[in-house]
């Protein structure tokens, strides 16, 4: 809530205090910090004038920790104690890290749980959170020295497809670094903030963000200062590192570089890649062998990751319900978009040249800095509303092992949605809640996020209790779920923090499978819902017969039992149509008995009451 400044009549207006807040782009390869300097937000340089800080941490002898260029220089000579691409490790289990096609010359701590991987260094066991914190500490110190003051807050960017675990660990790293996180902001959205405010553009924008280790694409609508994300897509294991790896494999095969380490070949591949962004062909020597490689060769050798990126673009446009012709501009973000092959592929896919006037390395940090300046309370000449979206649907398990979606995918966040549920059995005093993530109809085909139990429900007949379940996703994409019984106020809640991350490949397959199995999923839902209705009716009638046998007429119980037997016979093998038909028949057969029971219970309830009182 903003505080209003009160001023006495005739007094001079007090100059508002400028509060210090920064935007931080915590990148896989490089990181940056930005802040408002005068009239605009700029990336802050170090003492040598460099804005980019290599996201590398080296643990040296004597307990010293080096971050940035000095650490990068140690990556070849002491790789076991030099951590690179820590961002790729956030939110992942050790077993998941081992499946990554990513060079990791580390010894992992065998004493740590699989869901909390940690690397053994000479400084002790270091997890991805503490490594990321070291990078953030350097950026924080740089900002406080440049701005000559103590920071009050920071907006930190994350890939749009980071899940809850990855976002939470980013927050944990910031807290360890002594930063107050104002908000986690999706990287493509941060780029859109910087781009939209700089040019006052309106229309549909695609932000194509290809960094060193992650890829994101977001489709945004920019209208009169409102930034709305229509759809997002991405892969947390796709980036410039993958181009380096494929090119390094080719170099090794061509030169027979058996005497060189994996790190040396990767570094050589990276340097040649950078030169090819400026030159048509590069001559170099590797393992005493003179070689030449052209841009065309490089593009052919690294076509696979680029094709993956284009497939994600196609799917994101489909999610946004837009065609290529409806896209007004494409913004390139991330150092890897400097590759000519990437720019050509993007231009061919969208049918127009992408915008290249914005520094792709700095645009995300600048956007985060603009957002930080607004959130900390400094007056901004450009007021804007920022809307983000959930990448996957969130819901809850219902009877029949079905998933009831409460927040559909691509819903604008922050968001709060509630839905009422009820009890299944008479006298039920507790309800187990199972939070799910995914697009399929069956629990077995979705991802389990959390389980918790609501207790203290009044013992009533099935269907009488009202349980209000609320899903709330905050601006950082973190999910909180609460359940409240409306009569007594009994409440239970949980914040979802999965113990390990969800791979982008898994997300992609979840979306693809939901489309491929849409028809059979709907048939499955129809069948299971019919089965739940049938079981509920059978149980209710069985309880009614035991409770009020005197209300049954002659021959009525036999007719009801016959209808129940027919329904039970098809419970396991019958179709939804059969179950629905026989459930309806049972309803009709037992309808008169149910009406007599209702009359009797109402009569007993009203006995001795005056009609005007009723």
Active-site pick, 209, 235, 361, 397: 209
Residue 481 β-bridge partners: 471, 494
Residue that has been written with the tokens 């009050």 in this structure: 152
Domain boundary among 342, 372, 388: 388
Active-site pick, 96, 187, 235, 529: 187
Question: 313 and 352: one domain?
Answer: yes
pLDDT of residue 399: 81
**b/e map of 360-392 (b: 16 or more CB within 10 Å)?**
bbbbbbbbbbbbbbbbbbeeeeeebebbbbbbb
CA dihedral for 456, 462, 463, 464, sign (positive or negative): negative
Map residue 163 onto helix, strand or coil: coil
pLDDT digits (tens, 9 = 90+) for 179-210: 999 889 888 778 878 866 445 557 888 999 89
Return d(Cα 136, Cα 90) in angstroms, integer.
14
Question: 229 and 109: one domain?
Answer: yes
pLDDT of residue 592: 77
Question: 560 and 469: one domain?
Answer: no
Residue 201 β-bridge partners: none
Domain boundary among 388, 408, 441: 388
pLDDT digits (tens, 9 = 90+) for 256-302: 766 677 778 888 888 999 898 888 988 887 777 788 889 999 999 98
Number of domains the chain contains: 3
Nearest to 351 by CA among 334, 322, 329, 333: 329
For 225, list phi and psi in degrees, rounded to 5: 85, 0
Domain boundary among 457, 482, 515: 515
87 belongs to the catalytic site = yes
Question: 597 and 527: one domain?
Answer: yes
Nearest to 83 by CA among 108, 100, 62, 101: 108
CATH code of the domain covering residue 471: 2.60.34.10
Please check the confidence at residue 456 and state whether its pLDDT lies above 50: yes
What Cα–Cα distance (Å) separates residue 436 from each residue in 96, 160, 605? 21, 20, 42
What radius of gyration, in Å, describes the C-alpha atoms of the chain?
A: 30
pLDDT of residue 70: 92
What Cα–Cα distance (Å) separates residue 388 from each residue in 38, 184, 193, 361? 29, 11, 12, 22
pLDDT digits (tens, 9 = 90+) for 457-474: 888 877 788 888 999 887
Q: How many helices (H) and strands (E) does the chain have?
A: 15, 27
Q: Is residue 590 part of a domain?
A: yes
Question: 467 and 318: one domain?
Answer: no
Tokens of 562: 């016959």
Residue 450 β-bridge partners: 435
Mean per-residue pLDDT, 302-307: 92
Among 274-278, 287-291, 305-309, 330-334, the least confident range = 287-291
Q: Is residue 180 part of a domain?
A: yes
Q: What is the DSSP string of 212-253?
A: SS-EEEEEEEEETTEEEEEEEEEETT-SHHHHHHHHHHHHHH
For 221, list phi and psi in degrees, rounded to 5: -110, 120
Active-site pick, 46, 72, 87, 397: 87
Question: 38 and 154: one domain?
Answer: yes
Q: Is residue 287 part of a domain?
A: no
pLDDT digits (tens, 9 = 90+) for 399-446: 878 888 888 877 777 788 888 888 877 788 888 888 888 888 888 888
Q: Is residue 125 part of a domain?
A: yes
Q: Which domain holds residue 586?
A: 519-606
Q: Is residue 588 part of a domain?
A: yes
127 belongs to the catalytic site = no
Which residues make Cβ contacts (< 8 Å) with residue 325, sequence separation at least 6?
351
| Mean pLDDT over each residue of the chain, to the nearest integer | 82
Question: 599 and 472: one domain?
Answer: no
For 121, list phi and psi in degrees, rounded to 5: -130, 175
Question: 369 and 415: one domain?
Answer: no
Question: 331 and 452: one domain?
Answer: no
Return d(Cα 595, Cα 589) in angstroms, integer.
11
pLDDT digits (tens, 9 = 90+) for 475-531: 667 788 888 988 888 888 887 643 334 455 565 676 677 777 777 777 777 777 777
Question: 314 and 459: one domain?
Answer: no
- The whole-model pTM stands at 0.60
pLDDT of residue 100: 65
Return d(Cα 83, Cα 74) in angstroms, integer.
10
pLDDT of residue 109: 81
Return d(Cα 28, Cα 456) in angstroms, integer.
48
187 belongs to the catalytic site = yes
Residue 218 β-bridge partners: 207, 232
pLDDT digits (tens, 9 = 90+) for 123-151: 888 899 999 999 999 999 999 999 999 99
CATH code of the domain covering residue 556: 1.20.1270.10
CATH code of the domain covering residue 218: 3.30.420.40
Question: 470 and 573: one domain?
Answer: no
- Count of beta carbons in the 10 Å neighbourhood of residue 590: 23
Please check the confidence at residue 254 and state whether its pLDDT lies above 70: yes
Q: Is residue 379 part of a domain?
A: yes
pLDDT of residue 284: 83
Question: 397 and 368: one domain?
Answer: no
pLDDT of residue 384: 57
Nearest to 434 by CA among 472, 468, 491, 396: 396
Q: Is residue 291 part of a domain?
A: no
pLDDT digits (tens, 9 = 90+) for 2-21: 334 444 444 444 455 678 99
Mean per-residue pLDDT, 153-167: 86
Q: Is residue 288 part of a domain?
A: no
Return d(Cα 118, Cα 129) in angstroms, integer.
9
- Count of beta carbons in the 10 Å neighbourhood of residue 503: 18
pLDDT of residue 257: 62
């Amino acid at each position: 809530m903003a505080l209003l400044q009160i001023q006495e009549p005739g007094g001079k207006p007090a100059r508002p205090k400028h509060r210090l807040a920064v935007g931080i782009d915590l990148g896989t390869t490089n990181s940056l910090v930005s802040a408002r300097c005068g009239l605009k937000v700029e990336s802050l340089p170090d003492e040598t004038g460099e804005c980019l800080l290599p996201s590398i941490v080296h643990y040296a002898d004597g307990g010293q920790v080096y971050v940035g260029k000095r650490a990068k220089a140690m990556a070849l000579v002491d790789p076991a104690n030099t951590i690179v691409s820590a961002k790729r490790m956030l939110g992942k289990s050790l077993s998941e890290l081992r499946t990554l096609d990513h060079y990791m010359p580390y010894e992992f701590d065998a004493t740590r749980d699989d869901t909390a991987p940690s690397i053994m260094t000479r400084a002790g066991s270091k997890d991805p959170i503490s490594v990321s914190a070291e990078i953030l500490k350097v950026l924080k110190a740089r900002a406080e020295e440049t701005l000559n003051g103590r920071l009050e807050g920071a907006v930190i960017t994350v890939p749009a497809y980071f899940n809850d675990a990855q976002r939470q660990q980013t927050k944990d790293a910031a807290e360890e670094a002594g930063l107050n996180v104002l908000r986690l902001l999706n990287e493509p959205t941060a780029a859109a903030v910087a781009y939209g405010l700089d040019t006052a553009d309106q229309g549909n924008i695609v932000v194509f963000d290809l960094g060193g280790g992650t890829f994101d694409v977001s489709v945004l609508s920019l209208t009169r200062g409102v930034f709305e994300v229509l759809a997002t897509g991405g892969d947390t294991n796709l980036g410039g590192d993958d181009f380096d790896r494929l090119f390094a494999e080719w170099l090794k095969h061509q030169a027979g570089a058996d005497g060189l380490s994996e790190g040396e070949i990767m570094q050589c591949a990276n340097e040649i890649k950078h030169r090819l962004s400026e030159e048509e062909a590069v001559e170099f020597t590797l393992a005493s062998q003179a070689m030449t490689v052209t841009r065309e060769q490089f593009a052919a050798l690294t076509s696979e990751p680029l094709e993956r990126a284009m497939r994600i673009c196609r799917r994101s446009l489909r999610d946004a319900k837009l065609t290529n012709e409806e896209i007004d501009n494409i913004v390139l973000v991330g150092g890897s978009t400097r590759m000519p092959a990437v720019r050509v592929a993007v231009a061919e896919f969208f049918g127009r040249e992408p915008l290249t006037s914005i520094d792709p390395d700095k645009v995300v940090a600048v956007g985060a800095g603009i957002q930080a300046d607004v959130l900390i309370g400094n007056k901004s000449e450009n007021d804007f509303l920022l809307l983000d979206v959930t990448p996957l649907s969130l819901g809850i398990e219902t009877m029949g092992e079905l998933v009831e979606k409460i927040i559909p995918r691509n819903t604008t966040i922050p968001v709060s949605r509630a839905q009422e549920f009820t009890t299944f059995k008479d006298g039920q005093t507790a309800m187990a809640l199972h939070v799910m993530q995914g697009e399929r109809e069956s629990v077995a085909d979705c991802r389990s996020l959390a389980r918790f139990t609501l207790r203290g429900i009044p013992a009533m007949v099935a269907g009488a209790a009202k349980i209000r379940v609320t899903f709330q996703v905050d601006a950082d994409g973190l999910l909180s779920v609460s359940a409240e019984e409306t009569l007594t106020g009994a409440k239970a809640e949980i914040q979802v923090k999965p113990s390990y991350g969800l791979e982008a490949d898994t997300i992609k397959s979840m979306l693809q499978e939901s489309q491929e199995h849409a028809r059979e999923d709907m048939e499955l839902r129809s069948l299971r819902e019919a089965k739940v209705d049938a079981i509920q009716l059978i149980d209710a009638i069985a309880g009614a017969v035991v409770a009020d046998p005197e209300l049954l007429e002659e021959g009525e119980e036999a007719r009801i039992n016959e209808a129940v037997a027919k329904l039970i016979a098809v419970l396991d093998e019958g179709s939804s149509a059969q179950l629905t038909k026989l459930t309806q028949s049972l309803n009709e057969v037992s309808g008169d008995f149910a009406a007599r029971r209702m009359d009797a219970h109402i009569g007993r309830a009203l006995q001795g009451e005056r009609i005007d009182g009723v």
